């Protein structure tokens, strides 16, 4: 699943360049230019991809980070 998530996000980065509807004036749903609609779908894909990343790729050890007691906040 980790590999799938990384592949999905990488794919979204690539398709963002819009190889299909670059100079297409087609309107979908009667009001949405296809170039804009495709970018909105990429955004939705990003939401799904990043949600998967938090589920399957999250570095769990971060919360266990020890605190350096010798350093008070105000000393920095």
Partner 1 sequence: MTPLTIIVLYLCLLLGVAVLSNVFLKKTAGDFFLASRSIGPFMLFMSLFGTTMTAFSLTGSSGFTFKNGIVTYGLMGSWSALVHPLIFFLVGAKVWALGKRHGYLTQLSYLRDRYQSSFLTLLLFPLLVGFIMLYVLMGAIGAGSALQGIAGLEYKWGVALVSSVVLVYVFFGGMRGTAWANTMQTLVFLIMGAVAFVVIVSDLGGPQEATRQVIEHANAEVAKRAVRTDFNKGVFASYCLIPISVGMFPHLFQHWLTAKKASNFKLSVAAFPFCILILWAPCVLIGMWATASLPLEVPGNEVLPRMVSAHAGNVLSGLIGAGILAAMMSSMDSQFLCLGSMFTNDFYLHFIAKDRPSERSVVWMGRMFVISIVVATYFIALYCPKKSVFGLGVWCFTGFTSLFPILVGGLYWKRSNKYGAIASVVVVACMWLYYIDRALEPGGFLLLGVLPVVLMLAASTLAFVVASLVTPPPDEAHIAKFFAPGPG
Q: Return residues touching partner 1 (CB under 8 A).
A: 9, 12-13, 16-18, 21-25, 27, 30-33, 35-36, 39-40, 42-44, 46-47, 50-51, 53-54, 57-68, 71-76
Contacts of 8 (CB under 8 A, 6+ apart): 45, 48, 49, 52
Q: What's phi and psi for 32, nearest 5 deg?
A: -105, 115
As measured in angstroms, the least distance from the Cβ of 44 to partner 1 is 7
> Which residue, 1 or 65, has its beta carbon nearer to partner 1?
65
- Is the distance from CB of 2 to CB of 49 less than 8 angstroms? no
As measured in angstroms, the least distance from the Cβ of 3 to partner 1 is 16
């Amino acid at each position: 699943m980790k590999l799938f998530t990384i592949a999905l996000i990488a794919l979204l980065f690539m398709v963002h360049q819009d190889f299909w509807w670059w100079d297409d004036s087609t309107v979908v749903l009667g009001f949405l230019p296809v170039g804009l609609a495709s970018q909105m779908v990429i955004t939705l894909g990003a939401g799904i991809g990043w949600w998967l990343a938090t589920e399957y790729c999250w570095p769990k050890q971060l919360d266990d980070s020890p605190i350096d007691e010798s350093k008070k906040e105000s000393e920095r």
